[in-house]
Amino acid sequence: MHPRRQEDGVLSYVLTQPPAMAAAATELAGIGTAISEAAASVAGPTTTIATAAADEVSAAIAQLFGAFGQEYQAINAQLGALYNQFTQNLAAAANAYFGDEAISAATLVKGATTGLFTPTSPPVVPPAFGQNTAIVMSGTGSPIPSIQYVAAITNLFLPPGMVVNPLNTIEELYPITGVKSLPFQNSVQTGLQILDAAIWEQIHAGNHVTVFGYSQSAVISSLEIQQLLSLGPNKPDPSQLSFIFIGNEMNPNGGILSRIPGLNISTLGLPFYGATADNPYPTTTYTLEYDGFADFPRYPLNVLSDINAVFGIITVHTQYQYLTPQQVANAILLPTEGVTSNQYFIIPTAHLPLLDPVRAIPVIGPPLAALIEPDLRVLVNLGYGDPRFGYSTSPANVPTPFGLFPDVPPGVIVDALVAGTHQGINDFAAALPAALNPPELPVIGFPPYIQQILPPSPGPVPATPANIASTFAAVVSDSYSLLLPTADLGLAFATILPAYDLSLFLNQLLHGNFIAAIELPLAATAGLAALGAMIEFIAIVRTVAAIIQQLQSLNF
């Protein structure tokens, strides 16, 4: 990764591959040598042309072609000098990248872990642990784990017999949790300090600790793992500590923060910390299929897959605590690479989140969604690679950034679409009788994720002139406050995104991948555009919901 310095002094990181650059420089130098040798071998024949006869025409032709040969050799010498300079510059750049890579790869994580406890000796492993303790945190928008949430998590994901300790963290994410809330970076740093202190308190008390993280608190826990690994011989023993994650944005193969690692959207305070490190502590991760935060498409040029992921953030990411024990027990174990103590499970999602608005249409909505879903699922799944699955099937513990296009034969896609068409017709026929019955009026409400991040609804107040004026002022304030995140997103797309795309373009160009130099920036732009649209959309919907709550509080 190579840092690009922004005007405000914040570094934004982009991907490079120094070994490939060095190899490219070596290969280019070899090509240049071969061209120079070939040019030297033909220097004589091309600059000295023997006349075919003694007449004036033959002499003039020989002189003409000889002049062409001499001009070619002169131009070739100039090009050779430029080529040598280019390869020298490329080699120098590769050497510079080697130094920058080591520094910038850990900069974002180091910034988050600065100031945490650093023991001078390894903690003592007791002969028998005093308690099996679970530290349970909630997700973005829920700083205090509710009683219902803790009970659901304990029942679904924690081993029996644990002493459960809810842990309050900040869990804010500007602008999604409000214009006046903390940026993600600050919220994570504060939460990391809280979690680190809680873990060491339990370890020093002689207890075994299981850390449970959801969404943002899974990011906090992932950074805590990297902090513990950095302690070397003074880190806790693997027998003292374990982790359980749900909806982890740092999933190595699927988390949105690892799909585009090292990027720092400084205007929003949103660093992409990369992947959860493969670590010696027993770590279990559960991900719902199509959860756009934890299961983001690998191939973001697939716009349908991107949009489905955005809807998945709104409707799927909040559903972990509402799963059944059977769903958790039947979760699919994903393949991993090498020896690891980390396990990754995917929990299938019955329907595409993209079709939730269609299903909400009275009468015709459910059968129409049933008709098109099988084929649409094939197209959406191509954003992950295999048209059969809504998640990446490559090793789950290997950090996997975004790519261009999946390597799927066209015949496989055609066969899947044909089968999907037949299934859609059958599903439509099966759903039609239920649609013909008198429908119940749908319950109007906000999507689950919006409900999770909404502030508490204000209590009813009498519609006095003072209260009406106060409510009106609050509505106006909330309305124009949307201009700030919109401006921050616009600034990011006008500055940080072009710099990121330019780095991708130059990186691939230096490797000789001319097609990838065009396509990778397009893929990055598509993925970040989906993320930006999601942030803006959620900020708008949250603001509208808050305004509605304020207006409803007036009791006329």
What's phi and psi for 329, nearest 5 deg? -65, -30
Point out the domain boundary residue: 302, 336, 354: 354
CA gap 384, 555 in Å, rounded = 50
- Check whether residue 89 and residue 149 sit in a common domain: no
The CATH number assigned to the domain holding 11 equals 1.10.287.850
More confident residue, 96 or 553: 553
Residue 475 has pLDDT above 90, yes or no: no
Tokens of 419: 């089968």
- Check whether residue 320 and residue 464 sit in a common domain: no
Active site includes 553?
no
Residue found by looking up tokens 């080699």 in the block: 91
pLDDT at 418: 97
Percent of the chain with pLDDT over 90: 54
Question: pLDDT (tens digit, 9 = 90+) per residue, 336-382?
Answer: 999 999 999 999 999 999 999 999 888 899 999 999 999 999 999 99
Q: Is residue 415 part of a domain?
A: no
Q: Is residue 526 part of a domain?
A: yes
CA gap 525, 522 in Å, rounded = 5
- Check whether residue 177 and residue 60 sit in a common domain: no
pLDDT at 478: 82
- Check whether residue 316 and residue 205 sit in a common domain: yes
Nearest to 135 by CA among 230, 207, 226, 185: 207
pLDDT at 64: 62
- Check whether residue 7 and residue 89 sit in a common domain: yes
- Check whether residue 180 and residue 329 sit in a common domain: yes
Question: pLDDT (tens digit, 9 = 90+) per residue, 250-265?
Answer: 999 999 999 987 788 9
Question: pLDDT (tens digit, 9 = 90+) per residue, 185-206?
Answer: 999 999 999 999 999 999 999 9
- Check whether residue 321 and residue 225 sit in a common domain: yes
Tokens of 254: 């699927």
pLDDT at 276: 97
- Check whether residue 22 and residue 89 sit in a common domain: yes
- pLDDT band at 62; cut points 50, 70, 90: low
pLDDT at 397: 97
CA gap 390, 404 in Å, rounded = 17
Catalytic residue (choose from 12, 138, 142, 215): 215
Point out the domain boundary residue: 70, 105, 140: 105
Residue 99 has pLDDT above 50, yes or no: no
> Using an 8 Å Cβ cutoff, are 111 and 262 in contact?
no
- Check whether residue 76 and residue 224 sit in a common domain: no
Residues 409-433 as b/e (b if ≥16 CB within 10 A, e otherwise) read eeeeeeebeeebeebbeebbeebee
The stretch 438-456 carries a mean pLDDT of: 65
- pTM of the shown model: 0.79
More confident residue, 21 or 169: 169
- Check whether residue 188 and residue 331 sit in a common domain: yes
Residue 27 has pLDDT above 70, yes or no: no
CA Rg value for the chain: 30
> Using an 8 Å Cβ cutoff, are 236 and 129 in contact?
no
Helix (H) or strand (E) holding 423: helix 410-436
pLDDT at 546: 82
Domains of the chain: total: 3
Where is mean pLDDT largest: 48-57, 289-298, 504-513, 541-550?
289-298
- pLDDT band at 517; cut points 50, 70, 90: confident
Residue 47 has pLDDT above 70, yes or no: no
The stretch 208-237 carries a mean pLDDT of: 97
Percent of the chain with pLDDT over 70: 78
More confident residue, 420 or 459: 420
Residue 21 per-residue DSSP state: H
The stretch 401-423 carries a mean pLDDT of: 94
Q: Is residue 397 part of a domain?
A: no
Question: pLDDT (tens digit, 9 = 90+) per residue, 272-297?
Answer: 999 999 999 999 999 999 999 999 99
- Check whether residue 194 and residue 325 sit in a common domain: yes
Q: Is residue 418 part of a domain?
A: no
pLDDT at 98: 36
The CATH number assigned to the domain holding 229 equals 3.40.50.1820
Q: Is residue 157 part of a domain?
A: yes
Kindly compute the dihedral angle of the four CA atoms of residues 139, 254, 285, 265, in this order, to the nearest 10 degrees: -40
Mention every residue, 6+ apart, whose C-beta is less than 8 A from residue 478.
543, 546, 547, 550
Nearest to 450 by CA among 550, 313, 325: 313
What's phi and psi for 452, nearest 5 deg? -65, -35
pLDDT at 94: 42
Q: How far apart are the first and last CA of the chain?
A: 59
Point out the domain boundary residue: 75, 105, 135: 105
Residue found by looking up tokens 């370890």 in the block: 203
* SS3 assignment for 290-338: CCCCCCCCCCCCCHHHHHHHHHHHHHCCCCHHHCCHHHHHCCEECCCCC
CA gap 437, 214 in Å, rounded = 40
Q: Is residue 49 part of a domain?
A: yes
More confident residue, 241 or 112: 241
CA gap 241, 72 in Å, rounded = 71
CA gap 54, 45 in Å, rounded = 19
Q: Is residue 156 part of a domain?
A: yes
More confident residue, 339 or 29: 339
Q: Is residue 371 part of a domain?
A: no
- pLDDT band at 37; cut points 50, 70, 90: low
Question: pLDDT (tens digit, 9 = 90+) per residue, 452-470?
Answer: 666 677 778 888 888 888 8
- Check whether residue 175 and residue 48 sit in a common domain: no
Domain membership of residue 546 as a residue range: 454-555
pLDDT at 55: 58
Phi-psi region of 386 (alpha: psi -120 to 50; beta: other; left: phi over 0): beta
Point out which residues pair with 345 in neighbouring strands. 286, 333
CA gap 197, 187 in Å, rounded = 16
SS3 content of the chain, % helix, strand, coil (to 5): 55, 10, 35
Residue 490 has pLDDT above 60, yes or no: yes
Point out which residues pair with 165 in neighbouring strands. 135
Tokens of 359: 């299903």
> Using an 8 Å Cβ cutoff, are 265 and 101 in contact?
no
Residue 33 has pLDDT above 70, yes or no: no
- Chain centroid, CA 421 distance in Å: 32
Residue 216 has pLDDT above 70, yes or no: yes
What distances in angstroms separate CA 364 from CA 357, 423, 433, one per listed residue?
Answer: 12, 18, 11
Mention every residue, 6+ apart, whose C-beta is less than 8 A from residue 548.
none
The stretch 81-88 carries a mean pLDDT of: 58
Look at 38-42, 391-395, 421-425, 480-484 and tell me which has the smallest mean pLDDT.
38-42
Residue 435 has pLDDT above 90, yes or no: no
